[in-house]
Structure 1
């Protein structure tokens, strides 16, 4: 089988228009004898129209499809033997459709990776939990400590002799607050006897280069504290003293906690580490006075995080937009602006503010239309994808700003087929336009044929259902394998051709 043929089969296996009888033929053809480059079994497993009988036939023929089939709801507990296929059994458990009783079998699996994955699931039989808690592999026990929701189990594991297990307990939000406080002060628990640094000569855990242990497990104790400080269940009184700790990593662990007292927030707001101040600026629980102070921070990242704080005062955000290069995503405070605030933002003399408002996709028609005539090209690029704009408005943007707005106009969901054709013919051309047109639901056959001339848009256009069937067939012989796969997966591929291609 050639590589190209293999990609044809992969595309066909995912083709939504492939008749059911041809799906059966592909299932019968799938299996270990198929060329690795033509492994289309996963494509078959992902089909939305796969019947239960077809799914079971595919699983029987290609057991490796058990995981995707389980995740897609195509297999049941009756179809899977946890001892023979732990991967599929774990996938079913992960989806909430497995049998908790499998825990006894999987807890004894010789592969420790499978036991680690099992430890993530709740609802296991108590004896399976006990097996995992006593596992000889510390990583299995650590996973159980991280995920178990049983306070009795996690409390017991807080006294585990290995520090890695205690670190997982410190991350677990089901850990009782008193236990988390004890993990931080380290005085109410028996000292750990082992840590990953101690184990380094025996096992490579990919430790950081500065990890050390002189017998007191210093790096491990630091990691346990770091985890507990970030745990929302840790009592406030147990964490506040760390606002002045010499370790910037521990101070950083505090900044997005929702329970920071104002005086602790103020101390962190003048921390010498910009990243700490930045993450604090994004904490929605800090007060207005502190936000206004942070708006004057000399660090760009601090101001950017503050701009995306959902509770930042609107006037502060307006000031930040004029002085700070913000991320391209919609700030939460703009997303929740009231109708009156939206009108105020639309009248702003700062184009950066109008551009932020244009990121909303639920604007009133009048404000949307006003922004569509904005003199600033950056505002137009932002509003151009907004649904509801007329063809005349979109063409006016192109006439006024040409290549600067072309690609964004092409992303508008209401752009007509005629407009899309015209965008592909624009001179000078804009490469990104072809990619956007190739994936647009309104793209016409003529527009898609134009997209085939662009190397990056070719594979996208090859799978578009509006591409003429003859062009789709011709692309099956393309030199680019991704183009071939896309063409074979195109629902416009003639049925007769499918019949010829399926073994």
Structure 2
């Protein structure tokens, strides 16, 4: 019997010979080379274990894939199929309509999922599927745009955190009804200027606060936030790196001493700003400036004559 199996080269004869033995059929599924007709026969195998193993194997033909995508007896077979590499586009599209959420969830996470299938999943009835789609690495801009109009918080927050989020999707998210979505957007890198300006005018102070802390905030948005009605937003702006000199100068005239104090403690203050702060009416502001490691000589000379002993002491400790 074994000699006959070894000598036989026709897949159909092999299947006919070993059809009663599930373990042997499983071993056959794992063969490196498996003919198209054999794949089709195995795709209709009575054992779900055989069909599941077939769904996961490499070099599976489109006909067998399509057969497995219609497997009504076991969702595990379709799940295994949905997660495989090199899934034919026709099969991807068919699986987007699968009645089992877990199948569509795995499909949404498939790294090789094409744009047509992504677009279909972007309107999936399950927010979990749409969230998984929003978190995937490769996504066409048209899919981003579709998801940016989603009414689910988790989906939009996941989308807002994408490194490759396009300008159109960013702009859509600035109008999201949920302030938490806009806050998540405000904290992301590479926000386009138009989006920064929209968020700088947001009604929610937490959104503007997240924007003020954004390391890549542009000058125009900084100039918008420097006059923000919330002292907390202005304080966050004052303490950030890469603050334009015009913004620094405007902050030296802020009505809130906490804002000016935050400014006085930051690195790389322009000389004119240092001089303004050295003459500040609030001793805590001048004290913060005296402790500034980047303090220039002109401001140091002014503070050396300060009326407050704590300011002079702090300055002396740096010498």
RCO greater where, 1 or 2, for CA within 8 Å and sep 6 or more?
1
Per the normalisation by structure 2, the TM-score is 0.49
Which structure has the larger Rg? 2
TM-score by length of structure 1 reads 0.34
